[in-house]
A and B are shown apart, each in its own frame.
Chain A
C-alpha cells in the first residue's frame, strides 16, 4: 500500500517523465546547449526534467566541469610534466631557422 503523499509524488514524476524529453535526448540537448542556445520551450522542458532526474543533472554538471577544465587547462607544473621538444627536434629547428647566406 503506497502512502497518499508518495502516490502523488509518483504521479507527478511520471507526468514529468512523460512530457519532457527522454534522458537520451536530454544528453544530446545538454551538449547542443553548450554550442548554441536552445529554443525557449526546449530549455524549459529540460529544466523541468532536471527536477526528477539526478542523472541528467549530474551529466550536465560533469560536462560543464569538463568544458571548464579544458578551457582553463592544467596548472603550469602539470603541463610541463608532458615534456617538450626532443633534443633532436630542437637541433633540427635551430638549423632550419639559421639565416640563409
Chain B
C-alpha cells in the first residue's frame, strides 16, 4: 500500500472519531492531582532539610540534658553538611523546567538532565549522606563504650552497635541503588533511545551516551573500606582527645556536683547541702554503696577522689548519666529518718566549693 493511501485511510478513520470531555471533572482532577516526579523530589528534599533543622536543636538539647560526651556533637556538622548539601546541590543545578508543550527534543534533553542529577545524587548517597552521619554516630557509640568499659574487652560492646549502624545504612544504600536500577536507569535508557532517534547528528548523541557512562557506581567494598578507615581514625581521635584531657586533669565530663563537700565515715559518704551534713543513702535511686563499690573497682586507690570530684563521670560510666538535677535520699546526722531531696541541681559552683574543701582538707592533713 502506498504511503498516500495510508494517509487517506488514517484521515478517514480520524474523521469518524469525536472526543467529548467533561471539562468540570477535568478541572477538579487537575486541582487534586498535582503530584508529579518533580513535586515528589521537591517534597522529599524539603522533608530531609526540615528534619535536619529539627534535629539540630534536639541534638544540643539531648547532649546538654544527658551530659553526653563531645562525640555526640560530631553529628551536628554532619547534619548541617547533609542539609546544606541538598539545598546547594538543588540550587546550583536548578533549571526552570520545560513545560510539556515545548518541542520534544528539548523536553527529552531537559528530562534527561534532571534524571542524571537525580541518579548522581542517589548513586553518591554514600558520600554525602551515609558516610558523614554514620561516622559521627559510630564515633559516639565507640566513645561511650570505651568510657563505660573498664578494660579493652568490654569495649567490644560497641561492635554490635556499630554493626547495627552499618547494617541500617547498608539497607538505605541498597534502597537508593534499587531505585536507580529499577526506576531511573530504565527511564534514562528510554530517553537516550528517543534522543538517538531524533538527533540531527549521531555524534551529538554519542556525547550524551558518553555522559551517561560517567555515572557509574563506585564499588561497595571500596566504600566499606573507607567507612572502616574513618571509624578507625575516629576511634584514634577519641582516644587521643580523651588521653589529652586526662593528662591535663580533665575527664571529658562536665565538672558538676549536687553537694558542696564530702567527708567519709569508712566507706560511707557524708555530703553537705546548703550547709547541712547528711549521710548519702542513694542518688537517682542508685544506692551510695553501689556507687562507692563501682568507684573502688574502677579507680582503685583514687576511688574517693573520683567519687567526690568526678561524680558525672562515675555515674555515666555506671550507665546512669545524671541530668541537670538529681534526686537524693539522705539521712540527717541527727535523725534516723531519711529525707528525699528532689530536684537538687548539679552545679559547677558546688563542684568548685567541693574542690576547695578537698584542698583545705589536704593542707590540714599535711604534717
Q: Please say whether chains A and B are actual partners in one complex.
A: no
Seen from chain A, the residues whose Cβ lies within 8 Å of a Cβ on chain B are none
